[in-house]
Structure 1
Amino acid sequence: MDHVVWKMEVYQVMLGLSNKSPEDFADHTMCRLGKWYYEGEGQSKYTSFTAFKKLEKPHAEVHQNGLAALNANLAGDKKAAAHYLALMESASFVVVEQLSQLANQIAGEVTFVKDHAELF
């Protein structure tokens, strides 16, 4: 999942395993999940689902806090960097939770349609 890869790249920079700069990281509208959400299948098929609507804010927070952690790390503020990483992880948990909820909502709708198809 690209979401996890994005976070791992943040950690790699924090640990000195990567030379990427904050500018090298996609924002929440340009990563694959963001493109799916704003331009792709998500936007065209799932906007009516509650979980889809609840996905935008935490997804943006993952990116904002990951970038804030990188910037704090660059400034030498390890305490702030750790704080932002914790916020990134908290938002990430909500993203995964909402994606799971969305999958369940989609599956429920498909089952409902299938179960009622014989009525027509």
Structure 2
Amino acid sequence: MRVTPAQLNVLKKLTKPHKEVVKEHPIDAYNSRTIGSLLRRGLVEKVTHKLFLHGAVQLTDLGREVVEESVAKKKEKYWYAYTLRGCSLGCQPRGFVGTDDTCGRFGAVAYDRELTEEEVNRYELQELEKEI
């Protein structure tokens, strides 16, 4: 399920307890629209709590799955080897997260997303099968 970055931030905050003795989180004016959209999608559920005037929310199982999926996806890196030249300005698409000069003839570059076929061809990169 696709969620916006704001929704993902709220979901990540909901994974930790609000206070030491209170696991639920209050609904406040700052995140009420985001909480409303998460309620409609079934990622959080509204619960009543005596400490919170406007109610509280907690994660559902589906919400926990979305958070775990985003954390696992965040750790995944896609590596591409340079075929004609090394790392320098304009020799790779924007947004790379790391480089390695020991891999391949001219080194390799890492991305947190999979590059499109057009980007690979334009910058003359070669996808590496194994992760470095």
Report TM bin, short chain: 0.3 to 0.5
Q: Which has the higher contact order (CA 8 A, sep 6+)?
A: 1
Q: Which has the higher strand share?
A: 2
The structure with the largest alpha-carbon Rg is: 2
Q: Which has the higher helix share?
A: 1
TM-score (norm 2): 0.32
